[in-house]
Structure 1
């Protein structure tokens, strides 16, 4: 496994209706590097967002979808999502403010 730095762990936020509703409970969803661990995700969130204190991290791996183009079958890339729960006294992540 390659050495992953904290700024390479979080790829982008997931902005769906379900993830936006979870923000009321201080749960934020990110697409993360497929080889990132929960500890690496926690470190990345706390270093990248000032005042954020992580209570727990849930991760899920998603296999690629099967796609067809003509008679050829293939798969899209695998992804990994992380749902980060912040503590009650933690500051909100300002990336999501105003959405």
Structure 2
């Protein structure tokens, strides 16, 4: 496995209607590095966002979608998504505050 630093683990937040509804339950959704595991994701969230304590991490791999350009059939890139649940006494993540 590659040497992945904590700031390389979280790629970007997922901003969808479902992920916004999960924020009421202190669950935040991120796209993460494909080789990152749950412990790496937990450490990255706690180091990047001060005052947060992670209770649970769920991950899922999204396969690439089939796309066509004329007769050429290909796939988009696959992605890994993580849903991070914070503890009740934890601070909220500020990047989602204005959304």
TM-score for both structures, normalised by structure 2: 0.99
RMSD (CA atoms): 0.4
Residue-pair matches, total: 99
Residue 46 of structure 2 corresponds to which residue in structure 1?
46
Q: Does 1:57 find its partner at 2:57?
A: yes
Write the mapping of 1:3-82 to structure 2, written as runs, cut at 5 A: 3-82=3-82
Q: Kindly state the Cα deviation for residue 63 of structure 1 after the two structures are TM-superposed.
A: 0.5
TM-score for both structures, normalised by structure 1: 0.99
Unaligned runs of 5+ in 2: none
Unaligned runs of 5+ in 1: none
Q: Kindly state the Cα deviation for residue 53 of structure 1 after the two structures are TM-superposed.
A: 0.1
Runs of 4+ in 1 over 4 A off after TM superposition: none
Q: Kindly state the Cα deviation for residue 98 of structure 1 after the two structures are TM-superposed.
A: 1.7
Deviation string, structure 1 residues 22-73 (Cα, Å, up to 9, x no partner): 0000000000000100000000000000000000000000100011101011
Residue 92 of structure 1 corresponds to which residue in structure 2?
92
